[in-house]
Structure 1
């Protein structure tokens, strides 16, 4: 549970975190407890995107925008300081009333946050299918409300949504790409990431998951009927059609990630027509 009486950045908390980091150098994510406060400590990642991934992602993001993007947006910055970006974004969102973990402490190359339950992915293990589907629809409602308030996530996959005290919390705000993109483009990327991450999470079959994907998209647009996001999605269909055309030789041997792309295309085609 949260411990509001624990001052953020208290010296004894910082000392305990740095001791734990020194004792467990192989772990990037540490779960700790300090004076009754459960917290998560993240080290800065030493991994960066491959240049070709950055190039493709930049071109896709640029193609979604109705106007030329600023030069820095196409760089999709891989520079250091992602932990500082996340700390800044979390503080700003928390101050705006968004359900995100509170920043408890920050140091050189690490960030400590209050623990906020388990991921939605983990929550499905002990729930009947209908309850799990309702939770996914709630996640879509939450994204629509988040977007209506003028926010963007950058990592809106199911793995970055937490269930805590009956509420959905958002984690993982290391991306800053949305600060260089038109808001509609950043929000479109959020929507695509969430729907894609929801698909094929169990063995109900592709037809049933297509129906669920369409329901998720319709739920979003019922709560947030944003014409600019629809336009961005129609532009994104050009990329999805190209990807699925090139991947056709592997369509019967594809893994779950590629199967999701085919399924996402079908869902979008049905909802956008």
Structure 2
């Protein structure tokens, strides 16, 4: 079962906000009256928590509305500025490793309404070579991360492990042949440096048959994405294009690596994402 954390956070923001407004309208004026009738010494002696319960303010109202400010801050930052994610699979190896914690810029692709993801203030468009986080088209409750290969109007071809964009083969240079012991895929791979537009990054190619070869034309308002682990990635070659309304932001920084609960977190992979 998948959970839409963004929706859960939005509901929490709304519920605590309703209680906060209700308290401000109904109970806060009463508390002011009670405090005004107290002596200065008595007002100083009563702590903030006790003040909240003056004028018989219900405890559950005090408790629920006390979470509003912190939830509002988290909701605002996560919805409009930056959002954290953890890498769950090896589809973006060698760029991103399983257990990497990354930050995603939510402002780059426009200011969008939380949950609905509708753009209300346009900023910049996704660019070829960006590492993007998006809602999986077949299940919007899931977040995926891939590299953006094709923008609207592009003709993408992938055959014999060679990526071609608009008739131009994408340049790649062999860096090393890695044995099983040095590759998390548990198979020997070739490590390449690939240049896609202005972005230079590394990719893996295995020695086995290339899955889902073909040619695709990117429709208006949609994008074509692939994993850097080219032969071990479920991406646009398998399930199609990513609609613009599914885009969440551009991944730009790795801030922590944590393999599992029983391991020690590490900062060895920290840095900007290329």
TM-score (norm 1): 0.25
Higher strand share: 2
Higher helix share: 1
TM-score (norm 2): 0.25
